[in-house]
Amino acid sequence: MRKVCYILTILFCFSASSVMTAQNGLKQQNVSSFVEYGASVHTGDNTPLWQVSNQHGLSSIDNNTYFRGGAFYTDTIRQWRLEGGLDMAVAAGLTSTFVLQQAYADIRYKWIGLLIGSKEINSPLLNRELSSGGLLWSGNARPIPQVWIGLPEYVQILPRLALKAEISYGWFTDNKYQEEKVGEDFWYTKSIKYHHKSGFLRIGVPQGKWQLDLGMSLDVQFGGYKSAGIDAGDLGNSWKDYFKVFIPTHGDDSSPEGEQIAYQGNFMGSEHIRMTYRHNDFSISAYMENYYDDFSGMGKLNGFDGLWGVEYKSNHKQAISGFVLEYYQTTNQSGPMHGLDFSEVKKTGGADDYYNNDWYPGWVHWGMSMANPLIASPIYNKDGDMTFKYNRVRAMHLGWSGDISSEWTYLAKLSYNKTWGTPFKPIPDILENFSTFASIIYTPRKWKGWRFNASIAFDTGEIYGDNLGCQLKVRKIF
């Protein structure tokens, strides 16, 4: 309790000083700050799915409460744009008592940008509030501190063609969490490194009636030290390993066993396509995101696997101002297992075991999947296994939002998913789950800067358990 009170004092002083700075030292519009209180309580096995998911890891499957404060600076000097942020929380019931959620400097000159630090990042091309989440990155886990450089916004290179691209290196921060949570029959990898690169094209006149977005992302976990198992130890932490993952190459004699015949590190990627039609009163989009572990998935030999969706967005405030309908499948995984080297059957891929890897716990940070949360995160595993147990799923998801009045809005979600386990560990019975979520947001005009958010949600089924939860968030922006 003494430690909690000490951190709360720091957060209070930090927020207060941010307000004083905004009022007395710098232009009011350059500095903003906030404080937020949140709490979740539930009955059943876990906090309901949509009260945990896509909240950048600042959530928990257990009953929890937190106090959060942050300050952000933004300024423009000629052709330079400067941003910085510091966002911290102290909590009970989360994976750690003190959370450094965001701490970053974002510097942009004309069309190029440099980001250093930890910043909340959402799925590209998807609705942040209504979608179930991207297949490589969904904002479901805590941010990864990284050094990022690229074109953060689309740059028009031709009248009907725009481009954006980015590359980054980062470092996972969940060593202590893994060490404490791993079961005695399992293993973990500490000090994992992260590499990301992506590129997107936009075809069409800016803000024209028709627009096509095409893109590809490639991420990798590399380096680190495996805690147990055959050939456990250094997985490649020298400077040359940073270059190896920049241009994927086959592992050499120094690479971990198994990586010598594949690409060193846990590579995965996604391909994006989104077509949008804009009307004066609304816009409607159709999109698909394809996940791949190797060339078989990249070449769409994984059948109907992927996230398929449509989105409607109104340009006016109304009862239903937006909705998203999505179908998500990961059951094919490029077919059955690879043919053996000495067999007559040769395949370019198969049994991809999405998000799992022999040398890394999985595509996860602080127990939460960094991808779509409709595949249950390892944080739900009660036996200390750090891998994904149910990565073969089919799911339907619906999200919609609207305006009740000028001060009241709402958001709702319905999801149904079922799983067959993994390609290597199928389960005897198909597990099913149904999840709902309803949230009311109140932004009173007479209390400037205040925002109240109350939600209720429940799950029923064998994946997340039978759960009923209530969640409250109160935020004041200065």
Taking only the tens place, the pLDDT of each residue in 233-292 is 788 888 888 988 888 766 555 555 544 434 578 999 999 999 999 999 999 999 999 999
Position with higher pLDDT, 380 vs 294: 380
Question: Looking at residue 294, what is its pLDDT?
Answer: 84
User: Is pLDDT above 80 for 23?
Assistant: no
Pick the closest to residue 46 from 105, 107, 93 (CA basis): 93
Whole-number Å distance between alpha carbons of 443 and 466: 32
Taking only the tens place, the pLDDT of each residue in 117-132 is 999 999 999 999 999 9
Q: How confident is the model over 125-140, as a mean pLDDT?
A: 95
Question: Looking at residue 246, what is its pLDDT?
Answer: 87
Contact at 8 Å (CB) between 33 and 72? yes
Which sequence spans correspond to the domains of the chain?
A: 123-444
Whole-number Å distance between alpha carbons of 68 and 45: 26
Contact at 8 Å (CB) between 441 and 26? no
Give residue 407's pLDDT band: very low, low, confident or very high (50, 70, 90). very high
DSSP states along 392-447: -EEEEEEEEEEESSSSEEEEEEEEEEEEEE-SSSEEEEEEEEEEEEEEEEE--SSS
Q: Which of 22-31, 48-57, 208-217, 320-329 has the lowest mean pLDDT?
A: 22-31
Find the Cα–Cα–Cα–Cα dihedral 100, 87, 16, 66, rounded to 10°: -70
Position with higher pLDDT, 438 vs 29: 438
Residues in the chain: 478
pTM, rounded to two decimals: 0.88
Taking only the tens place, the pLDDT of each residue in 177-208 is 999 999 888 889 999 999 999 999 999 998 89
Question: Looking at residue 260, what is its pLDDT?
Answer: 40
Find the Cα–Cα–Cα–Cα dihedral 252, 255, 261, 265, rounded to 10°: -120
Q: What is the DSSP letter of 349?
A: -
Give residue 8's pLDDT band: very low, low, confident or very high (50, 70, 90). very low
Pick the closest to residue 174 from 149, 207, 141 (CA basis): 141
Whole-number Å distance between alpha carbons of 369 and 251: 26
In the chain, what percentage of residues exceed pLDDT 70?
A: 87
Contact at 8 Å (CB) between 241 and 222? yes
Pairing of strands 450-461, 306-314: unpaired
User: Quick one: tokens of 220?
Assistant: 């990798």
Residue 203 CB neighbour total at 10 angstroms:
14
Whole-number Å distance between alpha carbons of 386 and 356: 10
Q: How confident is the model over 58-72, as a mean pLDDT?
A: 96
User: Is pLDDT above 80 for 45?
Assistant: yes
Give residue 358's pLDDT band: very low, low, confident or very high (50, 70, 90). confident
Buried b (16+ CB within 10 A) or exposed e, 363-400: bbbbbbbbbbbbbbbbbbbeebbbbbbbbbbbbebbbb
Q: How confident is the model over 409-429, as a mean pLDDT?
A: 95
